[in-house]
Structure 1
Amino acid sequence: MTSVGSSRPAGNLPGELTSFVGRRRETAHAARLVRRARLLTLTGVAGVGKTRLALRVAAHVREAFPDGVWLVELAALTKDTLLVPTVANVLGIQNRLTVASMDALTDHLAAKQLLLVLDNCEHLVDASAVLASRLLAAAARLRILATSRQALGTTGEHLLEVPPLPLPDPGQPVSPRAGARGEAVRLFVARAALARPGFTVDADNRATITRICHRLDGIPLAIELAAQRVRAMPVTKILLGLDDYLEFLAAGSRIATPRLRTLRATIAWSYGLCTRQEQQLWARASVFAGGFDLDAAETVCSGAGIAKRDVFDLVAGLVDKSILTRTHDDTDTPARYQMLEAIRHYGHEQLVESGRLTAMQARHRDHYRFQAARAEQEWLGPNELPSFARLRREHPNLRAALEFCLTEPGQALTGLEIAAAMWHYWVRSCTHVEGRYWLDRAMALAPEPSPQLVTALKTGSWLALLQADLAAARSLLERARVLARRLGDELATAYTTLGFGVVAFFQDDLHRAVTLLENALAHHRALDDPVGVWLALIYLTMTTAVLGEPDRAVAFGEQCLALCDSRGASSSRTYALWVLSLGWWLSGDRQQAHRLIRDGLPATRHIDDRWVLAHHLETLAFIAEADDQHARAARLLGAAHSVWRSTGTPPSGPRYLALFHNRCEHQVRTVLGDQQFTAAFQHGTRLTPDQAVDYALDDDGDTSHHPLLRPKREG
């Protein structure tokens, strides 16, 4: 059996890309506060190192939080309404409900001993304060570590101002020991050595480096930017350039605090030392949210003075100057580039001044409209998994594109197109709440009849269905059906028939559901629409299984699996395996059902689809109970319970599984007794999704006898 602690540590803290210099006192103090205080906010000016310190502290205290340390980056968010869904998404709480997103979040965290790191709260300070208050009130063992340029101002908040890095005393002679004690000087030397290998501090440059760090007020970001220049010039010229820029900008600066003037001057100086094309790329890249890859940079930032073939070299130049940070994971995904928020903001100002902001936002929108449409076309095919992963990475950019469409006059129809094209993404990522948020806004702004509107109505109705908002689903389907007929859109008409069939299924009108779904299946086949065929077969398998017609369920399920296999659709295949396993289980062939689920379970790790994982775990519990593995069944029910909760679904699962679930739980509880059942069930609830998969695949966890070798027990 897989133990609770056997899988990789929970959390999403990124690795450090560069060495962490100094801050021993602040790190130790903040770590003590995090263990003692419920909410700690690190405050300080831009560029002072709040985020870096928070991540360092979080790594130091990770062992104190068995349920993980989770980083939620807020810089790219522009709307308060997206704060809760963003936190939920990071935590894997794939909420399917129309309302009560906060309730799903508090419910998930209630029993967790977890550290939540909210980074860059200053532009969402009120919403962040409300979020922190609600979560801390609901979860007694939760701790929150926030970074913000200002306090959140909520009850119980502890504040720790992050100061600039210590500097040697300017009134004392600059000695090697004094220089070594100054963390600002150490940071400059460390980053300079990265920029120019072999760079060291010596008697000739020590005083100049110290003056540079003093000139920059010990602000880490400013020091790092200046240190990068040693590749191109001696430190004496770096100091001279800083003096010129600081004096020039200080006179007319509208920024009140001297340290912000210093940072702005340093960024402006770095901007001035870039080539004209590097400056243009810096400004244009500020339209990205949450990072970008080279393909996006070439598509969005080229033209009007920048050839597409030159973008790579320009990006590399900005990486060398520490304007862009390059990140890369261990997968085959392309490298990504990011800007610190202060640097991105400066680039945005330059883009506004150039008069090209709207044009660049439109190019950004078009690129991500293409990405959304491409992913939609690749569902039910060999590229559906990488397409899904790509949309997950680009979620902040897709939000930015949608926000542009819904705030720029005349762009709402394009917003409809993008939000509707993300149908499968909203469903499989369980971001139903956010999907409906964008669709509702777009439909309100572009209500005129159009092909985009009918597609949006179809998408919105499907999201409403999966949220069990049947009244809204029916209303949207009625509008879609009328408009589809008016436009002569046969495919949209087929989808509305399918949607009404699913509504009937959720309302337990099973015979009517079968009739509608079979009509939809025939219509989609006639139109050669494999996605519609797949959906119809999935729900026909489920409906006939619940009706007590396992032979028909198996027949539909086998057609669905064959369709996935013929198209190389590995992600969609996982759904087909589950519905087919349900049919075989009901037919009495538990061995075949078990084999199918074991075939599908490993894939759930890759797609991170909690909805299909919960179905697999639940059905394995049914099989274990039938094979007299009662303790195993209880643990699997507990594991499924946690996953159901993370999706916003009732703990017993969807309504169509409730009968099977209740029968299974009653039988297991009767055999084990309440105390043993509760202990095994709670063990299952403590498993992470990865651990639950490991346990489900470990057939020897509860018995020395392989369950598939036992004689079948009918009933």
Structure 2
Amino acid sequence: MNGPGTAAPPRATRGLPVEVTSFVGRRHEIAEVKRLLAGAHLVTLTGVGGVGKSRLARRVAAEVQRAFPDGVSLVELADLESSELLVQATSEALRIHDHSRRTPLEVLVGHLRDRRMLIVLDNCEHLLRGCAALAQALMRSAPDLRILATSRQPLGVAGEQMFMVPTLSLPDRAARPSAPSDAVMLFAERAAAVVPDFQLTEADREVVERICRRLDGIALAIELAAVRLRILSTRQLLDRLDDRFKFLVTGSANELPRHQTLRALIDWSYALCTDQERLLWARASVFSGGLDLAAAEEVCVGEGILREEIVEVVAGLVDKSIFVSEDRLDVKRYRLLETVRQYGRERLIASGEEAALRRRHRDYYQKLAAQAQAKLVGPDQVALAARLHVEHANLRVALEFCFTEPGEARAGVRLGTDLLYHWITGLYLGEGRRWLDHALAVHSEEDEDRARALWADGWLAVIQNDIDAAAAMLDESRAIGERLGLESVLAYVALYSGMIAMCRQDTDSAIALYEEAVARHRATGDQVGLLLTLIRLSLAHSYRGDAARAVSTAQECLAVSDLFGERWARAYATMALGVEAWRQGDIRHARELEQESLRFHRTLDDPLGSGVSMEVLCWIAAAEEDHERAARLVGALETVWNAVGAPLSGFGHLGRYRDACRSRIRGVLGDRAFEAAVDQGAALSYEEALSYALEERPHTDVSPAGGRSPSVLTPREMEVARLVAQGMRNKDIAAKLVIAHRTAEGHVERIMTKLGFASRAQIAAWVTAQSHPDQRD
């Protein structure tokens, strides 16, 4: 059984984020980078920090999407502090799920080998060697892959084409151009964003031009300066820039002038902050991937900032553009641009508070993980899983602290174990296994913490089909549990040992172990363990042919789930009932059950649960003698199982039914017709495969040429597109459709990828054109 909240992958990529501010100028640069990409496998954009490398890379990627039929994916590396997780981070960005024992690099290379796609590696400079090694490995194995990297220096890879991103074009001193330069245009647009009535008049144009020259045309410097127009006129801003930059002559002679310019401007931003804002800026630098208000109130309060003062201090940093505000999971999150975060980190280190803040950061996320574990059964499970997903970068930082700071390893063992259901959401299973393996290596004391980590790591090993390793870990966990009298540990050891027995086709032993686990979980009141075990026990009874016990056990799981408002285990229990209904020949009821289960798995973004239900739907189609549909489902399942990484991962005993079904379909259709139908199913995207299994009618839309053609969007994506056209934000869409916030985000990203759009406004215009074809250009 997979965990709640697994992110269902699009066909190949996660796509590009929506640009929240306008993109200014860079026509020549865009054209040149596109030309380089056409002839080179690796193009690296280099330049000073803040010059606009990331924005240029994203704009180029957006414009060339249609040249890459397998998609474009952005891998953001600024928050990654170690090259060890570089491959894992890239796989996550591509939404690659894998439960096998292959190394992360083998999985990534295998996924990309035959793909024609573009990967953007953003902010490589602090992981230069790791990025170079990754780029070399991918280019050797994937001939149709293109990589667009951004870095303050080249990766140093053979065949790399470099493009030095210039600063924004500045006004010509000799002759006034007919149109403003890129630097002036950027300043004017950002100024209008903070002062709505700002207009670039002829009277202050010369002042703005002087400001942009003073800032060397550095995009980030211009944006930071424009924010000051809330409290200064353009003339006052110029005067203060002149005063500030006079001190550059006392700076390091080794720094390039443009580095000095940006540094001086951030120094100025720092100087304009209140004492409390400076404190919060520095303290917030311990976060990776952003923070919300609750995290700031827990981690950043202390000497100089009271809890009740945090809101106003945060507001001040947002106003000064130190914090970038974003909507995630119905709350505001605050992100620091990497240059700004590193500046804050320097200030934090200088203050002597870094060690204390890192420990408070770890404590906060350890508490969050423990709360998520404790509340796993109940109506909040989807929201909790989504919260952990958003906080994944911070969870990594917390674990790294535990295993690098002397005396903190035990805390790392507990944190890694409490995150078990986060690890099994598909994207993180391999990473979770590595964290737990490391935890067990550094914490050898035979106590309850080690026993829990052993059975948790054992479950991950079972899902990866690493049965011998799983059995060894469970044996050690059982020995510790028996010696210390740990009833909960023994319950989970019995559960996962039962799974191993099923993998070995020893059904009688599995049932005995599951029954032991049920009794122990009842005794400890562990509802999570009880639900997990009831699902497995029902499938085991069904596999042995005991229909009555299979049904009654699954129905008990449904009853317990309903009692607590739980839906994740309920979906798996429904799947188990569907398997038994199919075995008994009640085909109509089996289809209803499996489609009900599949609908929830799609809502929850759980590809493993979706795959198992689709397998049963394939068997059902064959039982109804709809062999062509069954063969298409075989092909569609290739897409799903490729997303998961292993067919029937964790449910391997069902392979007997799968193999018999495929043999029967091939025998009826013949080899040629069978392979043709399988190819048709395999051509479907992940979302299209789910829609086909659910027998949803495909949507048709008006093609650009005016005719009718099959839509590239699934029915669900079309529904989301209409809500976007109504002006709804992702959180509003999630609430209306009763789906997770990140599910809504994923739908919007996939819509833009499929349609080749870069903004929500384009989606709205497209939907309007569909409704009023006579108004289309």
TM-score when normalising by structure 2: 0.85
Where 1:337 maps in the other structure, the secondary structure is strand
C-alpha distance in 2 between matches for 1:79 and 1:630: 50
Shift of 1:255: 5.3
Segment drifting more, 286-295 vs 574-583: 574-583
**Other-structure match for 1:712:** none
Is 2:34 the counterpart of 1:56? no
Equivalent AA in structure 2 for residue 276 of structure 1: D
C-alpha distance in 1 between matches for 2:480 and 2:649: 38
Is 2:32 the counterpart of 1:29? yes
Shift of 1:600: 1.7
Segment drifting more, 180-189 vs 127-136: 127-136
Segment drifting more, 250-259 vs 533-542: 250-259
**Other-structure match for 2:166:** 163
Equivalent AA in structure 1 for residue 473 of structure 2: L
Is 2:121 the counterpart of 1:124? no
**Other-structure match for 1:578:** 575
Equivalent AA in structure 2 for residue 186 of structure 1: M
Shift of 1:384: 0.5
Q: Map 1:688-699 onto structure 2 (within 5 A).
A: 688-698=685-695
Deviations 1:546-600 (A, max 9, x none): 3333433222222222222222112222222222211221122121211111112
**Other-structure match for 1:381:** 378
Q: Map 1:261-300 onto structure 2 (within 5 A).
A: 261-300=260-299
Segment drifting more, 341-350 vs 128-137: 128-137
Equivalent AA in structure 1 for residue 268 of structure 2: W
Are the equivalent residues in 2 in contact too, given 1:621–1:636 (CA < 8 A)? Answer: yes
**Other-structure match for 2:597:** 600
Where 1:256 maps in the other structure, the secondary structure is coil
**Other-structure match for 1:226:** 225
* Number of equivalent positions: 689
Are the equivalent residues in 2 in contact too, given 1:75–1:120 (CA < 8 A)? Answer: yes
**Other-structure match for 1:661:** 658
**Other-structure match for 2:327:** 328
Shift of 1:250: 4.3
Is 2:100 the counterpart of 1:97? yes
Where 2:331 maps in the other structure, the secondary structure is coil
**Other-structure match for 1:710:** none
Is 2:41 the counterpart of 1:44? no
Percentage of pairs with the same residue: 45
**Other-structure match for 1:709:** none
Is 2:188 the counterpart of 1:189? yes
**Other-structure match for 2:251:** 252
Is 2:76 the counterpart of 1:73? yes
Shift of 1:418: 0.8
Deviations 1:388-427 (A, max 9, x none): 0000000000001111111111111111111110011111
Is 2:130 the counterpart of 1:133? no
Is 2:457 the counterpart of 1:460? yes
Is 2:363 the counterpart of 1:369? no
Deviations 1:518-554 (A, max 9, x none): 1111111122211111111122122233333343322
Shift of 1:655: 3.0
Would the alpha carbon gap of residues 405 and 62 (structure 1) be closer, same or farther in structure 2, given more than 3 Å must change? same
Where 2:58 maps in the other structure, the secondary structure is helix
The runs of at least 4 aligned residues of structure 1 exceeding 4 Å deviation read 7-10, 650-654
Would the alpha carbon gap of residues 66 and 47 (structure 1) be closer, same or farther in structure 2, given more than 3 Å must change? same
Where 1:205 maps in the other structure, the secondary structure is helix
C-alpha distance in 1 between matches for 2:43 and 2:480: 53
Shift of 1:152: 1.9
C-alpha distance in 1 between matches for 2:147 and 2:546: 51
**Other-structure match for 2:204:** 205
More RCO (CA 8 Å, sep 6+) = 2
Is 2:87 the counterpart of 1:84? yes
Where 2:203 maps in the other structure, the secondary structure is coil
Segment drifting more, 650-659 vs 632-641: 650-659
Shift of 1:73: 0.9
2:110 equivalent among 77, 86, 107: 107
C-alpha distance in 1 between matches for 2:398 and 2:254: 30
Equivalent AA in structure 1 for residue 335 of structure 2: Q
2:527 equivalent among 530, 541, 557: 530
1:350 equivalent among 327, 347, 350: 347
**Other-structure match for 2:305:** 306
**Other-structure match for 2:681:** 684
Shift of 1:302: 1.8
**Other-structure match for 1:568:** 565
C-alpha distance in 1 between matches for 2:633 and 2:684: 10
Shift of 1:95: 1.6
Is 2:14 the counterpart of 1:11? yes
C-alpha distance in 2 between matches for 1:437 and 1:9: 25
**Which blocks of at least 5 consecutive residues in structure 1 are unaligned?**
1-6, 702-715
Equivalent AA in structure 1 for residue 79 of structure 2: A
Equivalent AA in structure 2 for residue 152 of structure 1: L
**Other-structure match for 1:554:** 551
Shift of 1:699: 6.1
C-alpha distance in 2 between matches for 1:674 and 1:202: 74
2:537 equivalent among 535, 540, 552: 540
1:629 equivalent among 626, 629, 637: 626
**Which blocks of at least 5 consecutive residues in structure 2 are unaligned?**
1-9, 699-777
Could you say what the CA RMSD is over the residues aligned between the two structures, in angstroms?
A: 2.1
Is 2:396 the counterpart of 1:393? no
Where 1:127 maps in the other structure, the secondary structure is helix
Are the equivalent residues in 1 in contact too, given 2:464–2:650 (CA < 8 A)? Answer: no
Shift of 1:165: 0.4
Deviations 1:350-383 (A, max 9, x none): 1111111111111111111111111111212111
Equivalent AA in structure 1 for residue 688 of structure 2: Q
Where 1:112 maps in the other structure, the secondary structure is coil
Are the equivalent residues in 2 in contact too, given 1:557–1:583 (CA < 8 A)? Answer: no
Deviations 1:602-661 (A, max 9, x none): 222332221111111111111111111112111111111222122221499953222212
C-alpha distance in 2 between matches for 1:319 and 1:201: 25
C-alpha distance in 2 between matches for 1:572 and 1:160: 52
Shift of 1:472: 1.8
Where 1:335 maps in the other structure, the secondary structure is strand
Are the equivalent residues in 2 in contact too, given 1:645–1:651 (CA < 8 A)? Answer: no
Equivalent AA in structure 2 for residue 244 of structure 1: D
Is 2:649 the counterpart of 1:646? no
Would the alpha carbon gap of residues 250 and 414 (structure 1) be closer, same or farther in structure 2, given more than 3 Å must change? farther
